[in-house]
Amino acid sequence: MNTAHPTRTATLKFLADLSEPLVYVPSKGGGDKTEHVGNFRNQQVPVLDARTDLIKPSLDREGFLLVPHASAVSDFYDDDVLRHTYHDELKVLVSRITGARRVEIFDDTRRSTSLERQRQTGIREPANIVHNDYTAQSGPKRLTDWLKSTGTDRASLPQGRFAIINAWRPIRNPVYDQPLIFCDATSIESCDLIAMERRADERVGAVQAALYNPQQRWYFYPTMQPDEVLLFKTYDSAEDGRARFTPHSSFRDPLAPANMPARESIESRCLVFF
């Protein structure tokens, strides 16, 4: 039973229709502005508080989950530290939460809501359209690309289910505004999700954009802390009814306190083998 009451309204950018070709153009970072190609429109959605709601979200049902996680890392801008410390921490965490037999991290993306920080550090801005990072085809393709680039033999990895899970955490400050917002995967119809080419310089892939549907339930975690990690599933090879895709975006919180430090975050993408 879901007894939660919406706590605020978010304005999210959805696909309006399929009248235009769709291209997702990721920013390179450093304050460049990119425009995605497609016909989008803003839509207000009621937002539930995942901390107080009676549901206890899970990766396999709702598609997302917040876990307490203190990291030994103090500088999330040091790639060597990420490789030698943070990735090992995430492997332990994601294996423990999911029961996976093997976890590999293949991407770290830092973002800030502050244009000045984006320019100073070369990092990216928050996501501004509702999307899921992979499609049923681009998830396995990302694995194939990773196998090739690392010279890994698929046969050397566990042969069961395969998933891609993002591990998102605030760095430097708690999140006062522009938090992540998730669509409960049980409230999404497969026809709400539309494949969209993702065109970056280094790789052409595909994400999914979303059409609005009033049945969708949207959740966020207020004031996320640097010792908390949000895990969310962006691909699952299993087609047995569990969550496969978790549409998400960031949003401007109308109740955010003024003059607080910018949101800064790192999201690490994990290949998860069962």
For the chain, the residue count is 274
- Find the shortest distance in angstroms from Cβ 27 to ligand OGA: 11
Q: Which of 26, 29, 46, 126 binds ligand OGA (CB under 6 A)?
A: 126
Asked if residue 24 binds ligand OGA (CB under 6 A), the reply is: no
Asked if residue 43 binds ligand OGA (CB under 6 A), the reply is: no
Residue count at the site for Fe ion (CB under 5 A)?
1
Q: Which of 108, 133, 184, 236 binds Fe ion (CB under 5 A)?
A: 133
**Of 46 and 126, which CB lies nearer to ligand OGA in the complex structure?**
126
Q: Which of 76, 168, 176, 235 binds ligand OGA (CB under 6 A)?
A: 168
Asked if residue 135 binds ligand OGA (CB under 6 A), the reply is: no
**Are 22 and 207 in contact, with CB atoms under 8 Å apart?**
no
Side-by-side strand order, sheet with 162-170:
64-68, 228-236, 162-170, 264-273, 102-112
Q: Which stretch binds ligand OGA (CB under 6 A): 25-33, 61-69, 125-133, 181-189?
A: 125-133
Asked if residue 209 binds ligand OGA (CB under 6 A), the reply is: no
Q: Residue 272 touches which of ligand OGA, Fe ion, none (CB < 5 to 8 A by kind)?
A: none
Asked if residue 100 binds ligand OGA (CB under 6 A), the reply is: no
Asked if residue 166 binds ligand OGA (CB under 6 A), the reply is: yes
Q: Which stretch binds Fe ion (CB under 5 A): 56-64, 75-83, 130-138, 177-185?
A: 130-138
Token pair in block for residue 34: 């990119």
Asked if residue 268 binds ligand OGA (CB under 6 A), the reply is: no
CA 77, CA 108: separation in Å to the nearest integer? 10
- Find the shortest distance in angstroms from Cβ 133 to ligand OGA: 5
DSSP state letters, the chain: -------EEEEEEEE--SSS--EE----SSS-----BS-EEEEEEEEEETTTSS----TTTTSEEEEE---S-S-TT-HHHIIIIIHHHHHHHHHHHH--SEEEEEEEEEEES-HHHHHHH--BPPP-S-EES--TTHHHHHHHHHHHHHT--GGGS--S-EEEEEEEEE-SS---SS-EEEE-GGG--GGGEEEEEEE-SS-EEEEEEEB--TT--EEE-TT--TTEEEEEEEEES--SSS-----EEE---TTPPTTPPPPEEEEEEEEEE-
Q: Residue 216 touches which of ligand OGA, Fe ion, none (CB < 5 to 8 A by kind)?
A: none
**Of 220 and 273, which CB lies nearer to ligand OGA in the complex structure?**
220
Asked if residue 216 binds ligand OGA (CB under 6 A), the reply is: no
Asked if residue 253 binds ligand OGA (CB under 6 A), the reply is: no
Residues that bind ligand OGA (CB under 6 A): 111, 126-127, 133, 166, 168, 180, 248, 250, 265, 267
Residues that bind Fe ion (CB under 5 A): 133
